[in-house]
Amino acid sequence: MKKYWSERIQNLVPYTPGEQPKDRVFIKLNTNENPYPPSPKVMQAIGAVEDSALRLYPDPEATALRQAIAEYHGLKPEQVFCGNGSDEVLGLCFYAFFFPGKKVVFPDITYSFYPVYTELFGLDYEQIPLNEDFTLPVEKFLGGNGGAVICNPNAPTGRTLPLSEIRRILHANPDAVVLVDEAYADFGAQSAVELINEYPNLIVVCTMSKSRSLAGMRIGYALGSAELIAGVNCVKNSFNSYPLDRLALAAGEAAIRDVEYFERTRTMVMHTRERTAQRLRAMGFFVHDSNANFLFITHPDKTGEQLQQGLRERGVLVRWFNKPRISQYLRVSIGTDAEMDAMCAACEDILKG
């Protein structure tokens, strides 16, 4: 079966995305998608793209989108890189800044794409065990490595590292890149973007899939010094010069500029998250504090697998990770109030059973 495969991928274990159901209609709380539609201005911008323009290649530099992102974050356009979703942006950053012989470090419980990238690119790495309460052991990230990757808030736990601790890690690694993945930061965490002009070794990766409801458009971006962004561009232009199509470029610019809609919908998600956490705790669940658009939960009377299967039977999809230390937990994306009420009712039914 693998006769013609490169040796580089013979033993590679690829990332497994969350289930995308095709057999029935579910309440879908398993892939951290936003329950609300994108800004109406996004749809207007997509509709305004001329049909005849689609025969032409898009802007390889994503000039207008980068300008909008730079203005939003208080940076310069040369400090912004845009790519096809934050997964691609992360992969390009791993290739640009980490290299064999210098060990890159990240937590043992975090976004599971990180070890996939390191294996794919032949990098040396170490997975640092989180503390028992799933907080980050910051001292083990303070120097002596070839780079560090921190998902903040972390996935799947939702735990957030204070900005003061990220500053400590940056200060202790002056000769190595520190990558902060802020896929979920818009839901309550303090962003590290404000440290970019202070630390030339910091790169922050963001996505429009979560807080701006554009998972279907695949728009991600990185923020950092002009030198770091030039490095990511070097890799991008050696791989795919046109990562974003014309529709995505228009959608991304409209989304980033509609700050009012962004603030309203992310606030709705955060309110629903806290409301749901309170209700789950009343049922006996242990719910980690979260600054993301999901909750990480466990119950003493049911295994993680029992809860996941029970919810699926009742029409609710959540994410269960059959991995050491977290196999008794579920990651539950935040939907609308009605969807979360239905999920909680299903949990009550399972616990009664």
Report pLDDT for 156.
Answer: 97
Report pLDDT for 16.
Answer: 79
Sign of CA dihedral 314, 315, 321, 325: negative
Q: Do the two domains 7-37+260-352 and 40-258 of this chain adopt the same fold?
A: no
Cα angle 243, 189, 90; round to 5: 25
Q: Which CATH class is domain 7-37+260-352?
A: alpha beta
Report pLDDT for 295.
Answer: 98
Report pLDDT for 313.
Answer: 96
* CATH 3.40.640.10 for the 40-258 domain, yes or no: yes
| CA 106/CA 123 separation, integer angstroms | 13
Q: Per residue of the chain (353 residues), what is the pLDDT tens digit? A: 788 888 888 888 887 777 777 766 899 999 999 999 999 999 999 999 998 899 999 999 999 999 999 999 999 999 999 999 999 999 999 999 999 999 999 999 999 999 999 999 999 999 999 999 999 999 999 988 999 999 999 999 999 999 999 999 999 999 999 999 999 999 999 999 999 999 999 999 999 999 999 999 999 999 999 999 999 999 999 999 999 999 999 999 999 999 999 999 999 999 999 999 999 999 999 999 999 999 999 999 999 999 999 999 999 999 999 999 999 999 999 999 999 999 999 999 999 97
Quick one: which of 283, 298, 282 has its CA closest to 332? Answer: 298
Contact of 268 with 258, CB cutoff 8 Å: no
Q: Which residues pair with 302 in a beta bridge?
A: 299
Domain ranges in the chain are 7-37+260-352, 40-258
